[in-house]
Chains A and B, each alone.
Chain A
Amino acid sequence: MKKTLLSAVIAIFGVQIFAADITGTITFKGTPPAENSLTEMESMSDCISMHDTTPTTHFYVVNSTNGGFGDVVVYLKNVSAKSTGASAKPAVLDQVGCLYTPGIMAIQTGQTLTVKNSDPCNHNVHGISEANGKETTIFNDQQPSGGAELTYTFDKPEMFFKFECNIHPWMKAWVCIFDHPYFAVTDADGKFTIKNVPPGKYTIEANHRKLGAQSQEIEVKDSGATANFTFNAPAAAK
């Protein structure tokens, strides 16, 4: 009787009942390359007035105390699960002080991406696909200060789809689009959690926009799994 009940529960909730989390830490080894100062911003009062000092790029988000490596996209490869993007809560890309926040993000196909403008100036929101190794404009919309939010959805998975503003040429953000829900972006401590993964064997990949991808094989048990990665500083910056 007990067994039947359990079977019924499994039938109703599917594999979700046994789903577990994959957690891990991405570490950066060595000295990260110096960031570029966005000096171009200094001549634009609407932008620079929102910063105390001239901002820099954030290509290598490295925690200097624990070596945690942020803005790394971690995901499962070749999973059969379908995208749940249509029912997922919208992801938000904001423009604050003439910078995109966040600079790196990940969403699902079919998931709404909301672009906001929190600045006192105009931006143009220019979406560029770099699939095929060639830049292709997908959309380009104006977004005045205080203007309505813009929303976008994507049909196909793509790594590092680019957003840029051509009024402020330093403004760039990259969005990774997946056709399944098993991905995460590391926080400032290099930590990530991929939630509700059904038990099984997977290939997990960690991808940094400038340093490229690393992968490893993992087995997710009922208790979950751990996957850690280490990225080395690029040769020229060592």
Chain B
Amino acid sequence: MNDSAAKINRPLHWFAIATAIATFLLLGAGGLVTSHEAGMSVPDWPNSYGYNMFAFPPSKWVGGIFYEHTHRLWATVVGLMTTILAVWIFAKDFRKWMKWLGVAAFLGVIAQGVLGGLRVTMKMDDLGVVHGVVGQSFFVLICAIALFTGGLWQKISEQKLNVSRGLRNLVLATTVLIFLQLILGATMRGQHAGLAIPDFPTAYGKIWPDTSAQAVANYNAASKNPENITAFQINLQMVHRAMALTIFVFICVTAFFAWRKLGARDSFAKFAFFWFALIIVQITLGAATILTNKAADVATAHVLVGALSLAIGALGCIIAFRRSLRTATVENQNAAVIAFGNLAANK
């Protein structure tokens, strides 16, 4: 196992990290598009107002077009980086499953680009939600590639296998909840439900607001926002809030068990603490989104920290699975070897 450290391709690892950072920034650019309601500001695609997108003059990047166009341009950068990453992995990484991950990333970035284009040209609003969810899933994939190409992964593979299956499953369940929360959040953004309730932690002064037709009419009459809201939007936001509370409880339990079972100095426990802190930041940003009447930069930060929470959760799952393998049964171990690969076996 020790000689495998020599096998780490440092430039590839750093390039994978750079691609992950570029993808994170792209999520931010995409978040700004939605926060500024600019998703439809350029009705054509891949052209921009009839121009080739690379020749579209900056003097025309005004208002919402600025967000939409820079998002498209930056997406091509991420597309190019992902293509290079996939080819590089295919050529240089000796692990077969890594080659497949590279291929998946390449196909993912193409699909994501086409989804973004179709959302505009087919005028399908629900595709905007799918585009948001696929984008964050793609970010998780790139983060995983960055993890697998680095020395940390080898260190983890050599570490004591001491993460219990209970803790591992807890991390998995929490990550799944965060993914569901992402789908809810993306739907809220697509349906402009972020402004459906003006107060937090209460909702129209109550724990669960009145959504009768009369109550909604009263909310709209008193609201300063241009758009009228619907009971559907209110309920959507309430479910998002309830889910946030559920995730918070799960994270608390996860961090507590990681601390009790592994000790505060263990790297996995530290990961759990960081995740916990991230969720606190995320809930604060969610509250701030409501209280600032959905200021675009706050709402976008909420999207980004959400993406980071998901990615950290997913990496945590992978590490937890890796560190719980040998405590599992032999069959489980074999299954996991197939799932995550084994450096020694594939050599």
Contact = CB atoms under 8 A, between A and B. Distances in A.
B99 interface: no
A166 B38 contact: yes
Contacts of B206: none
B226 A59 contact: yes
Contacts of B125: 135-137
Contacts of B44: 142
Given A133-B232, A135-B125, A234-B221, A166 B49 contact: no
Interface string B216-233: 011011111011101110
A212 B221 contact: yes
Interface stretch (A87-95, A108-116, A120-128): A120-128
Contacts of A168: 63-64
A192 B279 CA distance: 55
B124 interface: yes
A235 B60 contact: no
A167 B63 contact: yes
The interface residues of chain B, by DSSP majority, are classed as loop
The interface residues of chain A, by DSSP majority, are classed as loop
A212 B60 contact: no
Contacts, number: 94
Contact of B217 (A140, A142, A165, A212): A212
Contact of A169 (B63, B190, B217): B63
Interface of B: 36-44, 49, 60, 62-65, 68, 120, 123-125, 190-192, 217-218, 220-224, 226-228, 230-232
Contact of A166 (B64, B191, B224, B230): B64
Contacts of B218: 234-235
A139 B124 CA distance: 10
A98 to B, nearest CB: 9
Given A167-B62, A169-B63, A209-B228, A124 B222 contact: no
Given A142-B49, A166-B38, A210-B221, 10 more contacts: A33-B224, A124-B40, A133-B232, A140-B43, A160-B228, A166-B64, A167-B38, A169-B38, A210-B223, A235-B222
